[in-house]
Structure 1
């Protein structure tokens, strides 16, 4: 991103993406890249034919020209060049230099979404807006573990979502990998810019650590949620077939905190039952630490002793969870199912 990419790199990049999911860009970009190569004095027989091709030509013919052009120019096959490499001005494959900078910022979302987003700036340009449109919620990116930490094993992380707030409706991901003294990012799905970016490892690590330690954005309910999500004994829950999903202020009664867990089989194609389980804890007049301590104590206890709500997540599940105790109540998508009202005795006497 620091310098204008070499024409060969633009050609290779276009050749890799023009007829591949998820974007299906069409041949216009690769034809334009071939024309630009000719203008810059790069030449080969197939390159000329590719530059003169029409976007309406059969895809099979264009694909043949693309592969022949890359072979004649000594460039790699599409998709075979390692992510950490680039093509230099002389056509040689080089290691990508760590010339870019990264900065993160947490800010409040629009009022109707009542949350936060992590903005990502590369070379002081915001990538989240240029990508899918909106930064990820800190709880999706940083809690319980900071997913931005770079290791030598590549891993893919979502850094932007649709402006509606849903990841998947629109998505920008990065593949993060550490390579000696550099950290490389490569875009997936809705790329905000052309080509990957590379950072000095020490500078990247310091910024990621700063972001992970920043608590200035947290509201009391956020602090409580973080303490629970990072402090829960997940191995204990897993041993009972339970997974801690999320923690948030109860939207029905803001004086309570809601802890959501998943119990059972989460495969929608499976006939095995699956349930969502809710714990509600009073938070009014209490510190986040006090509420979190109570919640962690409950999660470490026998679920049969909980006062909990549950609802089935698959149609056809009619039986309560096997772990349900006497204080468990069935709910309907977060709303408690009222107990059936018993008719007055006089009513039955009249009917009889």
Structure 2
């Protein structure tokens, strides 16, 4: 995957690994997004795979990137019982999380319950991510005026906010960050990281925008 798509990280496990999540396999085909460009799919693409079960095998194939003519990955086949067991094991395992990753998960859960805060500022939460190569920070992504504008060919911008994380209790850090973030317009402490110079002009923002939290 890393060789076939290097414009962004793999999808966060919480969007793939949950009971009856998208990685489950049955007779019907299911297309799953495994990775997205850091600047959003609408800007630089994403990596999709179609998962289906055929007899005693699970097949990953029909790879697709909306931003490329083809994806250089072959079809993969797995023993169905072993595949299901591994998906169930991975779904229940959180031992791999590091503190920043736990903060990101908890913070996103809390912010998704605060819809009025984002509606006030004409924003939509994209994700809260923690990456292994940045172990002491998390990244919060917002769309303005909303993610739907990307597909509807309307002016849109993506904002990125970088937040430092300590070794303190992850739950306490997530609560404090949620309180701080919902107290004001999040765009004031974020950088424009997606969209286009023309969209920025139409929405009244410089391109790119630089701010320090």
Q: TM-score range by the shorter chain?
A: 0.5 to 0.7
* Alignment partners' CA distance in 2, 1:197 and 1:254: 33
Supply the RMSD in Å over aligned alpha carbons. Answer: 4.7
Against the structure 1 CA distance between its residues 336 and 233, is the aligned structure 2 distance closer, same or farther, given a 3 Å change threshold?
closer
- Higher RCO structure (Cα 8 Å, ≥6 apart): 2
* Residue 215 (structure 1) aligns with: 94
SS at match of 1:289: helix
Trace 1:55-94 onto structure 2 (pairs within 5 A): none
Q: Deviations over 1:140-165 (max 9, x none)?
A: 1522343423355422235589xxxx
Structure 1 residue 225, shift from structure 2 partner: 1.5
* Alignment partners' CA distance in 2, 1:295 and 1:187: 41
* Alignment partners' CA distance in 2, 1:180 and 1:237: 47
> Does 2:206 align with 1:316?
no
* Residue 25 (structure 2) aligns with: 150
* Residue 242 (structure 1) aligns with: 123
SS at match of 2:89: helix
Larger Rg: 1
* Alignment partners' CA distance in 2, 1:295 and 1:218: 19
Aligned residue pair count: 185
* Residue 132 (structure 1) aligns with: 4
> Gaps spanning 5+ residues in structure 2: where?
64-69
* Residue 199 (structure 1) aligns with: 79
Structure 1 residue 234, shift from structure 2 partner: 6.1
> Gaps spanning 5+ residues in structure 1: where?
1-127, 321-330, 338-352
> Does 2:184 align with 1:306?
yes
* Residue 176 (structure 1) aligns with: 51
Trace 1:1-352 onto structure 2 (pairs within 5 A): 128=1, 132=4, 137=9, 140-146=11-17, 147-158=22-33, 173-178=48-53, 183-188=58-63, 189-190=70-71, 192-193=73-74, 197-200=77-80, 202-233=81-112, 236=115, 240=119, 242-248=123-129, 257-265=138-146, 266-267=149-150, 270=153, 272=155, 274-277=156-159, 283-284=165-166, 286-297=168-179, 305-306=183-184, 308=186, 309=188, 310=190, 313=195, 314-319=199-204, 333=208, 335-336=210-211
- Contact 1:224–1:291 (CA under 8 A) maintained in structure 2: yes
Against the structure 1 CA distance between its residues 281 and 142, is the aligned structure 2 distance closer, same or farther, given a 3 Å change threshold?
closer
SS at match of 1:148: coil
SS at match of 1:157: strand
Structure 1 residue 175, shift from structure 2 partner: 0.9
Structure 1 residue 231, shift from structure 2 partner: 4.9
* Alignment partners' CA distance in 1, 2:169 and 2:91: 22
